[in-house]
């Protein structure tokens, strides 16, 4: 079990460059999300290297999926090797 550390909040006026320097993995992930979903993707809270920034939201643990539990495969194959383009009317 990992040890819980006390996070140091980042407060005050912080530039985008400072956020990128303090939270490199978080900003890399955000950039990847923007590449897929567009520039409307905004970070509201981040934790990395013992620091935190933003406002943490409260979520229902039973309906929460952690990023560490996600599998990012942009083109998943089914067992026959056919690539589905998506669902239509709830059907493939």
In tens, the pLDDT along 22-79 reads: 999 999 999 999 999 999 988 889 999 899 999 888 888 888 888 888 877 666 555 5
* Backbone Cα Rg of the chain: 18
Range of the domain at 23: 8-57
Residue 40 falls within a domain, yes or no? Answer: yes
**In-domain check, residue 35:** yes
Number of domains in the chain: 1
Q: Pseudo-torsion of CA 29, 38, 54, 8, nearest 10°? A: 20
Q: Is the pTM of this model over 0.85?
A: no
Residue 28 in tokens: 């890399």
């Amino acid at each position: 079990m990992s040890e819980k550390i006390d996070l140091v909040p980042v407060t005050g006026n912080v530039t985008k460059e400072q956020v990128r320097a303090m939270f490199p993995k978080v900003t890399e992930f955000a950039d990847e999300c923007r590449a897929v979903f567009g520039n409307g993707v905004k970070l509201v809270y981040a934790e990395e290297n013992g620091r935190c920034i933003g406002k943490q939201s409260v979520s229902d643990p039973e309906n929460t999926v952690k990023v560490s539990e996600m599998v990012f495969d942009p083109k998943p194959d089914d067992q026959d090797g056919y690539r589905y383009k998506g669902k239509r009317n709830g059907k493939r």
